[in-house]
Structure 1
């Protein structure tokens, strides 16, 4: 393309005409102008951005491109927003005493679960030896038990108390596995309280399979969550021994321990009892009311092997 000296001032127009001529070979005039001008605007933008990054000859500092500045400002705004959110969070302050109390409660809960498992998987004699060698363990167990009571929809002892209050005040009651002996303080009848360890002068320490009571001495034998361990048959044989004929055997247990409560009731009846009532209307617990009708079989081969599933708590 030939450019005359007089046309130097019109260089932009000459270049523009040359581009239009080149595109006319492939596109019509209208399309070529649109593409050409689009290309021209793109070229100008790229040139402007490149020019802003160059150092000016008169000594001015390098100027950052506007696009880069906007990106940096946007990042700054994001970081600032994040920092503000962090500052606005509600901090939970836990004092040293609160933390210590929480850790102690977790430790007690773990100890309770361990002791609970031992009681359900050991004989009464072994459990008694365990607690006699470590009285603090028995206290820990009952503290954990009291925490569990607060979580139940009903306290099984309340149901038993209600039933005993309907009985003659002259009755003598044996509270087996009594814990702290709460039953004695809630009914007008005379109560003898037994557990593996004595927590007070009113509680007699013994293996529940071998109490110091004489035969046919009591009117009611209560086992409120006390059928623990591996020798349940021996516990209820002892209940038969100490009860008068016609006496009452009251049992409260966690429903999850039973495959079938009716099957359990039939097995207990083989020990000389008759089922009077089975209450399954309450949440979590089953309540059994038996009467002693006769002595248990003399031959051991005719005795049932009573078992219940252990009531174990999930490890956390």
Structure 2
């Protein structure tokens, strides 16, 4: 009985030694595999050596995503602006044609009922004027600025009344257009001015002889001019 127990114990000890050796061999192989991975993978090696590597990589990834999102947003905004400019250009051409092919009284009623049309027209006109080498309004301002005597001036189809804004302290300027969008402008149909006859020194039409009855505008301008 004693010998039998001793044999069982020896077998158990041998088995434990075998498991222990296998465990040591497995650990050695794992360590060797990890070392080889570190050598063959510089990024992994860097991650092991530098504790802030992971956080830096995450931060770089966030910045990249943010930059990509901003670039996409910028491209989208540029496209929207381009489309908006095309739409404004189309509106300007439509309104411009409408004003040229209608009587002054019809145009006056049109913009009076919808002042936005006037705003859209002058917005488009301003964009167009920026591409001109010379703006005739600036030439007229230069001529009037050279006048030493104070003059009574009517600006017919004045737009934003740039002439009055620049020279109202030097001359007595009356500005008329289809819509009054600032303190310098009086809204009216310029074929029927609210002025007495022979009271004006200078009448100005600057790119404003629009409409099928443009001759009536000239006749009205002559009516208010002084006869010398």
TM-score range, shorter chain: 0.5 to 0.7
- Structure 1 residue 231 corresponds to structure 2 residue 220: no
Report the structure, 1 or 2, having the larger strand content: 1
**Residue 193 (structure 1) aligned with residue 175 (structure 2):** yes
TM-score, length of structure 2 as denominator length: 0.65
Structure number with higher relative contact order (C-alpha < 8 Å, ≥ 6 residues apart): 2
Which one has a larger percent helix, Structure 1 or Structure 2? 2
Q: Gapped runs of 5+ residues in structure 1?
A: 1-90, 247-316
How many angstroms apart in 2 are the aligned matches of 1:146 and 1:134? 20
Deviation of 1:169 after TM superposition, in Å, equals 3.6
Structure 2 unaligned blocks of 5 or more = 1-70
* SS in structure 2 of the partner of residue 244 of structure 1: coil
Structure 1 pair 205–123 and aligned structure 2 pair: CA distance change class (3 A): same
* 1:126 corresponds to 2:106: yes
Residue 114 of structure 1 pairs with residue 94 of structure 2: yes
Please state whether the residue corresponding to 1:186 is helix, strand or coil: helix
- TM-score, reference length from structure 1: 0.47
Deviations 1:59-95 (A, max 9, x none): xxxxxxxxxxxxxxxxxxxxxxxxxxxxxxxx99853
- How far is the alpha carbon of 1:201 from its aligned partner? 2.2
Once superposed, which parts of structure 1, at least 4 consecutive aligned residues long, lie more than 4 Å away?
91-94
Deviations 1:228-264 (A, max 9, x none): 1111211111011111014xxxxxxxxxxxxxxxxxx
Query: Superposition RMSD on alpha carbons, in Å?
Result: 1.7
- For 1:213 and 1:134, locate their aligned partners in 2 and report how far apart those are by CA, in whole Å: 26
How many matched pairs?
156
Structure 1 position 124, deviation (Å)? 0.5
Q: Is the 8 A contact 2:165 2:184 kept in 1?
A: no
Quote the residue 1:146 is aligned against.
126
For 1:222 and 1:129, locate their aligned partners in 2 and report how far apart those are by CA, in whole Å: 23
Distance in 2 (CA, whole Å) between partners of 1:117 and 1:158 is 25
Return the alpha-carbon distance in structure 2 between the equivalents of residues 109 and 235 of structure 1.
27
